[in-house]
Chain A
Amino acid sequence: MTFKRTILLLIIIFTLTSFAIFIAPRMQEQAEITPPQTVYNDSKDNNNIIIPCPNEHPEWRAAQIIDDVNIDAAPSCEPDNPYDIATSVKGTNNVSMATLMQTNLAQDALTMTDDLDHDGDPDVVHIKLEVIELNGSTPDGDFLINTFDIAPGIQPGLWVYAPKSRGMALKNFNSVVANPMLRAPSPVIRVEQDDKVYITLENTHYLPHTIHLHGVDHPWLNSKGEDNDGMEEHAVFPGKSHTYEIKPRHAGTMLYHCHVQTAQHFMMGLAGMFIVEENRPNNWLQTFNIGAGQVRHPSATVKKTFSQEYDLHYQSVDKKLAKIIQDANDPRLVAEHMSRDYNMTESFENYFLLNGHSFPYTLRDAMIIASENEDIKLHIANLQRSAVAIHIHGHKATITALDGVDHPPAIQITRDVFDISPAQRIDLHLLTQNNGLNSYGPGLWMFHDHTPTGTTTDGLEPGGNMAILAYKELLDEQGMPKMHDEFFDQLFNKNYYAKNMAIWGEGEFAPLLADAGLLAPNYLQIILFGLTIGLIIGVLLLIILAYKRNQKQ
């Protein structure tokens, strides 16, 4: 090949290459006069649609008496198991076997004995807690086990304390779903002032944990001279148990949480509300409020002033942290990934939970259900990483206590946004009197953290800790808000929270606001580009062949 020819071919290649770059088809192109057509949501995709209210136990809603325990009505979609409540009030040792069999509680989960002050209620309480992993990994396949959905299709890895249970941790033999007692949040625990309470942590988990009783009156050492503060250096290792002992002299809304690798373990869900109730005669308390929410057997003190009582547990999840326990099964890997690879200072909160659920699942069991002219007691705990600014639409409530310390009536503040820093608690008096100040009248009033992220699920609205203060007449017989059918059709769908559905993909405005479709490929452009590339390759091959032939000669 002559020098002249080589130059000519190089010029040809250069020209063709420039042309190819100029006309190269791309993944995204600009539309001309007519942008692509609208693509609508696939409303026939039944696999991902979820029934708003499963209505599994309608018989649990009514007010009832079990083993002489009065249990208030709970009109919500998913009321607490009344047998759990009866057992939580009387202790596993004082209820009938028939009642205990209706629960998943172990026979030694909660024993209540000795009326030390002779006022008609037991004063020695033994509480046993286990540590449960929800949405954890399994080496047996590509699925999660002991699942607990916080929202449609959303299953972050979580750790919770749970009352010591018995039997299957799954719902049944054909299921990977956790049994209803194993759920977020960690249960609310209620004890009476001056009771001798023994809290035993039976560490059923594969990593070390403790219980630190935040704000609860407790000596630094227990009666054996061992750690009683749940500190990191006195971790309870897997398979071990440890008993913390208290005799709290001061009543109020407090906390308990794990103090091992605290930042991570707290964020994983090992934190709950611990409420010390005033010592009153015949004051049988509901020791466990599983899943928080409505207290169906309020204390004597609460009943004196209030018609209802609710525990509201705000919690957040960092999806990267939550995924660590799902990505590896080997405890060494989990320990390494969680404590050293994961860096919380470079992390975000992605899921926001009220009583273990994000909207719309909060509608099932985290609503406040009221009538007009009620006095309702709310215990609110901020167990998430960031501060919350709780706002109840249409109402202004009054702060009666901060961090478990009562506010004197003269300085009790009535307002409509309650800022609560991490680990702080606030007790509210919610008056549903339609007086233009405390309430603007009956409605389905939303209540939520007003921090913008709080009402999102991984950034998607509506989600997060949004819930409803519902006036009874606006609920249907399953305890779900009326007038929301179309909204429910869209939101009770895994595809919605997987971000696969246009927000306004149905109805009159779908043609204008559903997804933009794809641009049709420009075949002329593709063919020209293909031919050019082919030509370049052909010419290059020929140059190589010619060069080789020259070398042989």
Chain B
Amino acid sequence: MKALLLVLCLLGVNHFASAMNHSGMIMDEKGMIMNANSDKLPNDCKKISENIDITIHAGHKHALKFNGKMFAFDNQEWDVKPCAKINITFINDDQIRHQLMIHGLPGYLYPEGMFHLELNGEGQLQASLIMPSQKKTYLVHCELPQHMEKGMKAQLKVDGGDGDLPSIPGLTAPVRADFYFVDWTQLSLSVLVFSALLGCAISFFIILNRTRIKDLFTKYLIRSTQKGG
């Protein structure tokens, strides 16, 4: 009997929990919005500091300005004031699904710390969120497999942010960069040979004139100590 009660309790709780999770989600055939927040202030904010409208395009054509990428947002970095309210217009220029996810937000306002817009195809969505006051850099990306890896990655900085994220197209270097062949030309090879000869000459020059160099060096030392004294 106890066990049965326990099971019923657990089921009830579970049901309740999943309903909670769904509370932040609006979904239709066009896409979905999760955890939009246009009015709840973060605990550390007394009021909204600024109201910013940001339009973010997503699609393969935005990767054209970066070498070696396939998908991208039209912008890779935004900087807002602490406690800013951001009104995002998310536009998908591709015929496939793209997402705009912002991670690392406070969990009591944004379940799982996440703000999430998703478009099933071409179209646009609008939603707002209010940033906390903390000086921090947030990851903005599309989470479809290989979309972030192939360029759909950006960062949202509050109060200048607390650093840069790696591998943001055009902004920051990757942690594990690809290897490419170097364009070794006759010029670069000649520069190499010339530098080697020069290095050889320098070593000869130094060693053959070592007494004179030593004299010059001691003179300089004496002079500088005299000046100092």
Enumerate chain A interface residues (CB-CB to B < 8 A).
Answer: 25-38, 511-512, 516-521, 523, 526-539, 541-542
Complex contact A534–B68 (CB within 8 A): no
Partner of A526, one of B177, B191, B198: B191
B180 pairs with A518, CB closer than 8 A: yes
B108 in the interface, Cβ–Cβ < 8 Å? no
Q: List 25 A-B contacts (CB under 8 A).
A: A28-B179, A28-B181, A30-B177, A30-B178, A33-B173, A34-B67, A35-B180, A36-B180, A512-B60, A512-B69, A517-B180, A526-B192, A526-B195, A527-B191, A531-B195, A531-B196, A531-B199, A531-B202, A532-B199, A534-B199, A534-B200, A537-B196, A537-B199, A537-B203, A538-B203
B68 touches A530 (CB 8 A): no
Question: Given known contacts A530-B192, A531-B195, A532-B199, what 7 new A-B pairs fall within 8 Å (CB)?
Answer: A29-B182, A33-B171, A33-B173, A35-B68, A519-B180, A534-B201, A537-B196
State whether A519 touches B194 (Cβ < 8 A).
Answer: no
- Are B188 and A526 neighbours in the complex by a CB distance under 8 Å? yes
Assess whether A27 is in contact with B184, with CB atoms less than 8 Å apart: yes
Minimum CB–CB distance for B64 against chain A, Å: 5
Question: Which residues of B are found within 8 Å of A521, using beta-carbon distances?
Answer: 182-185, 188
- Taken residue by residue from 194 to 226, chain B's Cβ proximity to chain A (1 for < 8 Å, 0 otherwise) reads as 111111111110010000000000000000000
A516 partner residues in chain B, CB cutoff 8 A: 67-68, 180
Pair A31/B180 contact, Cβ less than 8 Å = yes
Interface string of B24-55 (1 = CB under 8 A from A): 00000000000000000000000000000000
Contacting A at CB under 8 A, from B134-161, are none
**A35-B68, A531-B198, A538-B201 known; A520 and B178 CB under 8 Å?**
no
Q: Are B70 and A512 in contact (CB under 8 A)?
A: yes
CA of A537 to CA of B67, assembled, Å: 40
Residues of B within 8 A of A527 (CB): 191-192, 195
For the complex, what is the distance from the CA of A536 to the CA of B201, rounded to whole Å?
11
Q: How far is the CB of B193 from chain A (nearest CB, A)?
A: 7
Is B63 an interface residue when CB atoms closer than 8 A count as contact?
A: yes
Q: Within 8 Å CB of A33, what residues of B?
A: 170-173
| Residue with the highest number of chain B CB atoms closer than 10 Å, among A518, A523, A530, A536 | A530
Q: What size tier do the contact residues of chain B reach?
A: 35 or more
**A530-B180 contact in complex given A535-B199, A535-B203, A542-B204, C-beta closer than 8 Å:** no
Q: Are A534 and B202 in contact (CB under 8 A)?
A: yes
Interface of B toward A, CB cutoff 8 Å: 60, 63-64, 66-70, 170-173, 177-185, 188, 191-204, 207
Q: Is the CB of B181 within 8 A of A27?
A: yes
In the complex, the answer to whether A28 meets B193 with C-beta atoms within 8 Å is no
* Cα distance, A32 to B188, chains bound together (Å): 20
A33 closest partner in B (C-beta): B173
Q: Is the CB of A35 within 8 A of B196?
A: no
Assess whether B177 is in contact with A534, with CB atoms less than 8 Å apart. no
Closest to B202 in A: A535
Once A511-B64, A512-B70 are accepted as A-B contacts, the answer to whether A30 and B200 lie under 8 Å apart by CB is no
Complex Cα–Cα for A539 and B201 (A) = 10
Please state if A38 and B182 are interface contacts (CB–CB under 8 Å). no
Q: Which residues of B contact A526 (CB under 8 A)?
A: 188, 191-192, 195
Please name the 5 residue pairs, one residue from A and one from B, whose CB atoms are nearest each other, closest first.
A534-B199, A530-B195, A538-B203, A518-B183, A531-B199
Could you tell me if A29 and B180 are in contact, using CB atoms closer than 8 angstroms?
A: yes
Residue of B nearest to A512 (CB): B70
- The answer to whether B196 touches A530 (Cβ under 8 A) is yes
Contact at B207–A539, with CB atoms within 8 Å?
Answer: yes
A residues near B193, Cβ cutoff 8 Å: 530
CB distance from B29 to the nearest CB of A (A): 28
* CB-based contact A32/B67 at 8 Å: no
Query: Which residue of A30, A34, A538 is within 8 Å of B179 (Cβ)?
Result: A30
Considering the chains assembled together, what is the distance between the CA atoms of A526 and B188 in angstroms?
8
Task: List the A side residues contacting B171 at CB < 8 Å.
Answer: 33
Distance A292 CA – B195 CA, assembled complex (angstroms): 65
Q: Are B67 and A38 in contact (CB under 8 A)?
A: yes
Provided the pairs A512-B70, A521-B185 are in contact, do residues A538 and B200 lie with their beta carbons within 8 angstroms?
yes
Shortest CB distance B192–A (Å): 5
Whether the pair A31, B181 counts as a contact (CB closer than 8 A) is no
A535 contacts B181, C-beta separation under 8 Å? no
CB-defined contacts of B64 to chain A, threshold 8 Å: 511-512
- In whole angstroms, what is the CA distance A48 to B181 when docked? 26
Q: Which residue of B lies closest to A520 (CB)?
A: B183
- The CA-CA distance from A518 to B69 in the complex, in Å, is 16
Q: What are the residues of chain B within 8 A of A32 when measuring CB–CB?
A: 173, 177
Q: Which residues of the partner chain A approach B200 to less than 8 Å between Cβ atoms?
A: 534-535, 537-538, 541
Q: Which residues of B contact A36 (CB under 8 A)?
A: 67-68, 180
What is the distance, in angstroms, from A15's C-beta to the closest C-beta of chain B? 13
Contact B179 A530 (CB under 8 A): no
Q: Once the chains bind, are A519 and B181 in contact (CB under 8 Å)?
A: yes
Per the bound structure, the CA–CA distance linking A478 and B184 in Å amounts to 48
In the bound assembly, the distance between CA atoms of A37 and B68 in angstroms comes to: 8
| Set of chain B residues within 8 Å of A31, measured between Cβ atoms | 68, 177-180
A535-B196 Cα distance, complex, nearest whole Å: 7
Residue pair B203, A542 in contact (C-beta under 8 Å): yes
Bound CA–CA A533/B202 (angstroms): 11
CA distance A528 to B64 in the complex (A): 35
Q: What residues of B have a CB within 8 angstroms of the CB of A30 in the complex?
A: 177-180
